[in-house]
Amino acid sequence: MEEFALSFWIYMGVMSVFVGGAMQKMLAAHIRAAPTLVAWLGATVLLERLCSLWLPGALLLALLGAACCLFSPQRRLPAEGKVLLITGCDSGFGKATAQRLDSLGFEVIASVLDLDGPGAGELRRTCSSHLTLVKMDITQHEDIQNVLACTKAKLGLRGLWGLVNNAGVCVNFGDAELSLMTTYRGCMEVNFFGTLNVTKTFLPLLRQAKGRIVTISSPSGEQPFPCLAAYGASKAALNLFINTLRHELGPWGVKVSIVLPSSFKTGQCTNFEYWEKQYKNLLQDVSPSLLEEYGEEYMLETKELFQTHAKTAREDLSPVINAITDALTVSHPKARYYAGPGVGLMYFIHTYLPTSFSDRFLQRLFVKKKVVPQALQRQLQQKRE
C-alpha cells in the first residue's frame, strides 16, 4: 500500500511539472494557438503510459528531476561591469532595447545614423550617463572602425559582453520579378554584409569576454512570404551565417541567439510617404514589358496591401525587447527566440504541415491579393472564348 502511495505521488508530481511547464511556455511565448498545447499533451500522454507500467521508483524520480531542471527558472547574470553594443538605435527595437538594458545597469554603446536625430535625443534624455551614443552606418567600414576604437577605449582591459545586431532595412516592394536589382543589392548590403562586417570586427572582443551575440532576423528569411523576396533573401543569408557562428563559437564560450519577431511597427513601416515613393520608383524603373504584363492596377494593389499590413502591426515592442534581454542575461540563452503572438503557430505550420497548406496560410496572413496580372487576365479571357 505504501509503495502504491509513493508511486501515485511521483506520478502526480511528474504530470504537474509537464502540464505546468506547457502552460508556462505558452504564456511566455504569447502563443494563442493549439499546436504547442497538442504537442505537450502528447508528451504528457506518453509519460502517463510509461508511468502506468509501474516503472521503478528510481527511474520516476530521475524523470521528475530532469523535468524540474528543464522548467526551473534560469539564473540571471549581473549587469554590473558588462558593456554592450547595439546597432540601429535611432528608433524601434534598437532604441527600446538600449533604454531597457541601460535601466538594468549595463554600459550600453548605442549606434545611430544621426547623432542629432530625435532617437538620439530621446536616448540622451531617458538614459543614464553610462550610455554612449556613437554614429555608425553599418555599410561604411570607416564608421565601424571608429566605433571599434571607441568601444576599446570604453572597455579598457575588459572584453565586450554583448553585440545586438539590430540595424536593418526592408526596402522591398512587390513580386520577386518586379523587384529591382537595386532593391536586392540594398537589402543584402545592409542586412547581410553590414551585419557580417560588424560581427567579424567585434568578435575578438566578444571572445575575450565569452560574451553574447544577439541578432534580430525575420521569419521571412526562412519562409517564402509573398512580395518579400529581396528582404527575405538577405535575412536567409544572415540566418545561415549566424547559425554557423553558433556552432563555431561554442568552444570559445560565446553564445549566439537569433530573435524572430512577428509584425511590429518599426522603421519605415508606418511611413506612408515612404511607400508612395517606393511605388513611384517602381513604376519608373520597371521595364515597359513587365509593366504591361502585370499592369498598374496589380502593382497599386500590392502597395495598398503593404500599407494595410503596416496599420495592423503591433505597437508594443516588449516581446522582442524581452527576448533580447533574456538572451543577454540568462545563464543558458536559447538559440532561437520566437517573439510575438502567432510566430510559434506559423513555424509549426511551416515545419509540420503540407507545403500547399503552408503556402495558403502565408498568402492569407500577409498579402491577400485579388487583382490578377493583366497578362493572366487576357489568357483567362481567351480560354473562356
- The span from the CA of 74 to the CA of 330, in Å, is 6
In this predicted structure, what is the pLDDT of residue 177?
92
Q: Are 210 and 188 in contact (CB under 8 A)?
A: no
pLDDT (0 to 100) of residue 27: 47
**Which of 136, 155, 133 has its CA nearest to residue 145?**
136
- Angle of helix 343-352 relative to helix 35-52, nearest 10 degrees, comes to 70
Question: Grid coordinates standing for 301?
Answer: 494593389
Task: Give the containing element (helix H, strand E) for 135.
Answer: strand 132-135
Residue found under cell 503557430: 345
Contact 291, 283 (CB under 8 A): yes
DSSP states of 282-311: HHHHS-HHHHHHH-HHHHHHHHHHHHHHHH
Q: Cell for 214?
A: 544577439
Q: Catalytic: 231?
A: yes
At residue 279, the pLDDT reads 82
Query: Which pLDDT does position 19 carry in this prediction?
Result: 56
| From 184, 231, 337, 338, the catalytic residue | 231
Q: Which of 199, 206, 195, 274 is nearest to 236 (CA)?
A: 195
Which residues, other chains included, contact 268 with Cβ-Cβ below 8 Å and sequence gap of 6+?
170, 274
Going from the N-terminus, what domains does the chain have, and what CATH number goes with each?
2-71 (no CATH), 83-365 (3.40.50.720)
Q: What is the pLDDT of residue 33?
A: 45
Give the SS3 label for residue 46.
helix
- pLDDT on residue 22: 52
Q: One-letter amino acid identity for 264?
A: F
Residue 52's pLDDT is: 58
218: left (phi over 0), alpha (psi -120 to 50) or beta: beta
Output the pLDDT for position 231. Answer: 92
Q: Is beta strand 132-135 parallel, antiparallel or unpaired with respect to 107-112?
A: parallel
| Chunked mean pLDDT (size 10), the chain, 385 residues | 53 57 50 52 59 54 55 78 96 95 97 96 96 97 97 95 93 82 93 98 98 95 89 96 96 97 75 78 87 90 81 85 96 93 83 85 77 88 79
HSE, CB side, 13 Å, CA atoms: give it for residue 162: 31
Which amino acid is it at 206?
Answer: L
Q: What is the pTM of this model?
A: 0.80
pLDDT for 281 equals: 81
